[in-house]
Structure 1
């Protein structure tokens, strides 16, 4: 998994967390991280993120279970 993929996965999980105490723990964990070298997204990455958000809003999603089944079917061909 690439750094970008990992960050996107973490970001996706973070935006769905409603537990304030968990968010505070994550914030404390990250407070010592050096952010002076902040990653700058390329335009195509920003476009992908916007498209993903639109897919979610419009219900164009698939469960992990269904995705795993599709992967197995595709691999067995």
Structure 2
């Protein structure tokens, strides 16, 4: 079965459904698929945070995961 045939079959089946809850569930699935398939748009605040992070990286302001875990352990003991 081709993609086009499958789409038409699904459309035909959906058009026969009368159960509003079931249709809402299908809509949720379709909305979720659309959201994950598209390009993620960052907010201005998120863009600023990314810029700050890149600047810190360029300036060598980094910490290894091991050192970070040590700092976390110390912080949690206080």
If you compute each CA radius of gyration, which structure gives the higher value, 1 or 2?
Answer: 2
The runs of at least 4 consecutive aligned structure 1 residues that moved more than 4 Å come to 33-36
Which has a greater percent of helix?
2
Residue-pair matches, total: 45
Gaps of 5+ in 2: 1-32
Distance 2:70 2:63 in 1: 11
Gaps of 5+ in 1: 1-32
| Superposition TM-score, scaled by structure 2 size | 0.51
RMSD: 2.0
| Superposition TM-score, scaled by structure 1 size | 0.52
Higher RCO structure, 1 or 2 (CA under 8 Å, sep 6+): 2
